[in-house]
Amino acid sequence: MTATSSTAPWILKRAFQAFGLSRPLHPTNSNLSFSRALRCLPPKPPLRHSALGICQLAQAIKGDVDVLLKGVGDKSAIEEVKHVLEMARRASSRRQVLHTDFLTPPVLKESMLVLEKVADVKTVAQGGYPQAERCRISVGHPEALTSDPDIVVALSITGNFGFQPCSHGDFLGAILGTGIAREKVGDILLQGEKGAQILVVPELVDFLTSSLDKVGNVSVACTTIPLLALQYEPPRTKSFKTVEASLRVDAIASAGFKISRSKLVDLISKGDVRVNWTTVTKNGITLKTGDVVSVSGKGRLKIGEIITTRKGKFAVEIIQYL
């Protein structure tokens, strides 16, 4: 009998005691795994640190997917976080290093918070530059992930944009028009008349440099550049306040983008409105401080401070990205 199999019943017994169980749930199966046993346990409040000090129990709880996912604040990100978590557990058990695609800020944030609670997993998030919004996460056992992997490449898209300036959406549309999936592309840094710099996964560099030849009506050249050559600066914004009777997305966004509420509702129905990078389908979603709202062709804004007035309305600070 191996050391693992001989100690498993002892660990299970202590686990059952910790959860207030007098006997195993499956007494006829002495080989029931620890993770399976935990899934069979009835819900209990979080354990406090006690004299038991069972490291194995703590690690098993940390590794339980369902328990970890309950701590995800942004419920729309659960499925993607679950995928990242499963990738991390696979990488750790196999002593490998695995990488995600580019993740949106909400998924990135929730994934990093969850991964901090997983035993024997090291994580590195990279987006190409310090202020990157979209990043890739590398996960692996600490003995395998000993340095930052090269998983992000910068490309420069140049052309004569002096008379035909192109927006972020123009560049993104041209890139996706080659057949590349959105999650393979990171941030896009506009360079004015010079064009733009983009971050992509390494395996698509050759394809993009040979396939991307036009953005809008402007002929372009696409070349690889070092990450240190990226030119970025904090986004330019302007702030203003609006007083609304509701914090619904149709009320706040229509005021922020200065369009009618009916027009905003129409854009929602077409799938052109996103909250925290997730497409919304209902105009009754309530916004809160920190939420980011983007509308196709209109730009992006962030919800700042919210103050309830004496008359029960809401004074909302809106930060608009220029």
* pLDDT at position 178 over 80: yes
To 5 degrees, how large is the angle CA 141–CA 146–CA 147? 130
Same-domain pairing of 133 and 158: no
* pLDDT at position 322 over 60: yes
Domain contains 199: yes
Overall number of domains in the chain: 3
Same-domain pairing of 98 and 168: no
CATH number at residue 212: 3.30.70.330
Q: Are 124 and 148 in contact (CB under 8 A)?
A: yes
Same-domain pairing of 132 and 183: no
* pLDDT at position 22 over 60: no
| Pairwise CA distance, residues 30 & 285, whole Å | 50
| Pairwise CA distance, residues 228 & 233, whole Å | 13
Domain contains 24: no
Look up residue 41 and give its two tokens.
Answer: 């346990």
Q: Are 281 and 271 in contact (CB under 8 A)?
A: yes
Nearest CA-CA partner of 42 in 20, 68, 27: 20
CB-based burial label for 59 (10 Å; 0-12, 13-18, 19+)? middle
To 5 degrees, how large is the angle CA 148–CA 111–CA 176? 75
| Of the listed ranges 31-40, 121-130, 133-142, 218-227, the one predicted with least confidence | 31-40
What pLDDT digit, counting tens, does each position of 181-229 carry? 999 999 999 998 999 999 999 999 999 999 999 999 999 999 999 999 9
Instruction: Choose the final residue of a domain: 140, 166, 194.
Output: 140
What pLDDT digit, counting tens, does each position of 267-310 carry? 999 888 988 877 888 888 899 998 899 898 788 899 999 999 99
- pLDDT the model gives residue 26: 40
Residue with the bigger pLDDT between 309 and 76: it is: 309
Nearest CA-CA partner of 56 in 94, 96, 8: 8
For residue 207, what are the domain limits?
153-229
- pLDDT the model gives residue 67: 66
State the chain's mean pLDDT as an integer: 80
Residue with the bigger pLDDT between 184 and 321: it is: 184
| Of the listed ranges 8-12, 124-128, 181-185, 246-250, the one predicted with least confidence | 8-12
Residue with the bigger pLDDT between 322 and 240: it is: 240
Nearest CA-CA partner of 131 in 231, 277, 234: 234
Domain contains 242: yes
Same-domain pairing of 176 and 130: no
* pLDDT at position 171 over 80: yes
Same-domain pairing of 108 and 160: no
| Of the listed ranges 4-13, 109-118, 235-244, the one predicted with least confidence | 4-13
Nearest CA-CA partner of 144 in 96, 98, 100: 96
* pLDDT at position 49 over 50: no
- pLDDT the model gives residue 72: 64
Same-domain pairing of 121 and 159: no
Domain contains 88: yes
Instruction: Choose the final residue of a domain: 175, 204, 229.
Output: 229
Domain contains 148: no
| Of the listed ranges 4-18, 90-104, 134-148, 248-262, the one predicted with least confidence | 4-18
